[in-house]
């Protein structure tokens, strides 16, 4: 009898041991992103999320500021280290990574924004990181001292007259140069060959008018318009610091403006956190990149990039990645990260916080005013902006407008 009882007890214990669930390991989510200016903010955000989300650990890696993000992402793929969440900047990135981009149409965040990236089939695949924009940034204090009203800088000739006045007043105003511009392929190619060049694609057109861009990528480059743009670009170069122009880093370009050594800068609202870190308290705003005599006050406003989820990741990692993005978009903690910590203009309707940075505030005002312009540079083929346009824009620093127009025209013809 005792033996039967012992056998029965062993059986019960054995069954109990089998029935106990195994201790689940944390789901590891790796985020790979290209916006260096939000690196500290997003690092703190993912750390906070991991600490408050049992069973999930999120890490983030940043590569940007002119580095070859796309090339490094391809290297990660070859090394079987593809991240769970990564960034694309538009059609070029989507076309390249389509096989690795998950359909998130059913995610909660999709209902809260009008700026999701959609596949050609209408699937919501890209999570907008925010609204960004740019123009020709200005230091309002310096312009006021010089007697310049930024509201009147609505044509190329008006901007040119202001630059000439500032150049003659550099010593009195404490300026080293009128404008801070960078174009080196090694670091700041994206400032000129993407952002400033977007004025050629979209300036003076209705927001969804892509006719100039579509003609250009088909090799039909408007020579008169391109020449006018090239003259404007060369004009910016001529009033900049030659060292920063061809050898400067992002930090060099931003610091020159933040320290009051230039009156203008070719950057966007993503620099607001940098100015706060550098203690720049002067009021700032934007005027348009006016390369024609037609009046314009529009800025270049869009979702700059999108987070996408790796379609090849495990279902557990995909779910954890979408939960993370939902948290970023739909919670107070996420709103605090987007607006207060990263200094971005939110792309989600439920976020009511107002950005404190002057450039971001200028975008909110411009967005409400209307008359702004879309972004098209991210629709170029992967690598075209950095590898083909980048060197051409850098060469203009020491070259001629005629050579620039010829080389840009040929570059687009070669696409076809």
* Angle between helices 401-413 and 223-238 in degrees, nearest 10: 130
| pLDDT at 37 (0 to 100) | 85
Question: What integer pLDDT is reported at residue 103 of this predicted model?
Answer: 98
Q: How far are the Cα atoms of 288, 301, 367 from residue 203, in angstroms, in the given order?
A: 9, 12, 16
Distance of CA 375 to the CA centre of its chain: 11
CB neighbour list of residue 385: distance below 8 Å, 6 or more residues apart: 189, 190, 193, 194, 377
pLDDT score, position 321? 98
Q: Can you give the residue ranges of every domain in the chain?
A: 27-132+303-351, 136-298+373-413
Residue 285's DSSP bridge partners are 138
Helices (H), 259-373: 272-277, 315-330, 332-335, 358-369
The model's pLDDT over 144-198, given as tens digits with 9 standing for 90+, comes to 999 999 999 999 999 999 999 999 999 999 999 999 999 999 989 999 999 999 9
Q: For the chain, what is the largest distance between any 2 Cα atoms, rounded to a whole number of angstroms?
A: 109
Report CA dihedral (148, 151, 152, 157) to the nearest 10 degrees: 90
Q: What local confidence, expressed as pLDDT, does residue 5 receive?
A: 33
Output the CA torsion sign for 393, 396, 401, 404: negative
What is the pLDDT, as a whole number, of residue 343? Answer: 83
In the chain the first and final C-alpha atoms are separated, in Å, by: 90
| Pair of tokens at residue 57 | 């650990």
Cβ of 271: how many Cβ atoms within 10 Å?
25
Per-residue pLDDT, 12:
37
136-298+373-413 architecture in CATH? 3-Layer(aba) Sandwich (3.40)
Q: How far apart are CA 330 and CA 362, in angstroms?
A: 24
How many residues make up the chain in this entry? 416
- Residue 291 and residue 207 in contact, taking contact as beta carbons nearer than 8 Å: no
Q: Which residues in 375-394 are b (16+ Cβ under 10 Å) and which e?
A: bbbbbbebebbbebbbbbbb
pLDDT of residue 64: 74
pLDDT for the residue numbered 4: 35
27-132+303-351 CATH choice from 3.40.190.10, 3.40.50.2300, 3.40.50.1240, 1.20.120.1760 = 3.40.190.10
Task: Give every residue of the chain whose pLDDT is below 70, as ranges.
Answer: 1-24
């Amino acid at each position: 009898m005792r033996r039967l009882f012992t056998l029965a007890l062993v059986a019960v214990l054995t069954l109990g041991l089998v029935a106990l669930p195994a201790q689940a390991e944390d789901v590891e989510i790796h985020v790979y992103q290209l916006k260096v200016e939000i690196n500290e903010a997003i690092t703190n955000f993912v750390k906070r999320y991991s600490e408050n989300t049992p069973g999930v650990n999120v890490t983030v890696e940043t590569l940007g500021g002119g580095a070859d993000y796309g090339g490094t992402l391809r290297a990660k793929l070859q090394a079987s280290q593809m991240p769970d969440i990564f960034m694309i900047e538009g059609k070029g990135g989507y076309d390249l990574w389509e096989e690795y981009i998950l359909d998130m149409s059913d995610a909660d965040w999709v209902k809260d924004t009008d700026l999701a990236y959609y596949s050609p089939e209408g699937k919501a695949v890209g999570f907008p990181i925010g609204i960004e924009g740019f123009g020709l940034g200005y230091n309002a204090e310096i312009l006021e001292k010089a007697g310049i009203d930024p509201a009147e800088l609505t044509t190329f000739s008006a901007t040119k007259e202001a630059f000439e006045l500032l150049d003659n007043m550099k010593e009195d105003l404490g300026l080293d140069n009128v404008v801070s511009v960078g174009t080196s392929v090694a670091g700041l190619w994206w400032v000129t060959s993407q952002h400033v060049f977007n004025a050629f694609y979209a300036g003076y057109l209705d927001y969804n008018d892509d006719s100039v861009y579509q003609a250009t990528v088909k090799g039909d480059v408007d020579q008169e318009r391109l020449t006018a743009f090239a003259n404007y670009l060369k004009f910016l170069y001529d009033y900049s610091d030659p060292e920063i122009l061809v050898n400067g880093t992002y930090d060099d370009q931003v610091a020159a403006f933040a320290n009051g050594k230039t009156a203008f800068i070719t950057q966007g609202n993503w620099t607001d956190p940098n100015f706060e870190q550098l203690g720049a308290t002067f009021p700032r705003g934007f005027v348009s990149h006016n390369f024609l005599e037609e009046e314009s006050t529009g800025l270049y406003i869009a979702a700059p990039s999108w987070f996408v989820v790796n379609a090849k990741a495990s279902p557990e990692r995909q779910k954890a990645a979408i939960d993370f993005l939902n948290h970023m978009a739909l919670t107070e903690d996420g709103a605090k990260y987007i607006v207060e910590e990263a200094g971005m203009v939110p792309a989600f309707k439920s976020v009511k916080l107002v950005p404190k940075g002057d450039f971001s505030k200028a975008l909110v005002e411009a967005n409400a005013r209307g008359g702004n312009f879309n972004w098209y540079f991210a629709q170029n083929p992967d690598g075209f902006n950095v590898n083909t346009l980048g060197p051409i824009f850098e060469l203009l620093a020491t070259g001629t407008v005629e050579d620039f127009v010829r080389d840009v025209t040929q570059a687009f013809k070669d696409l076809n």
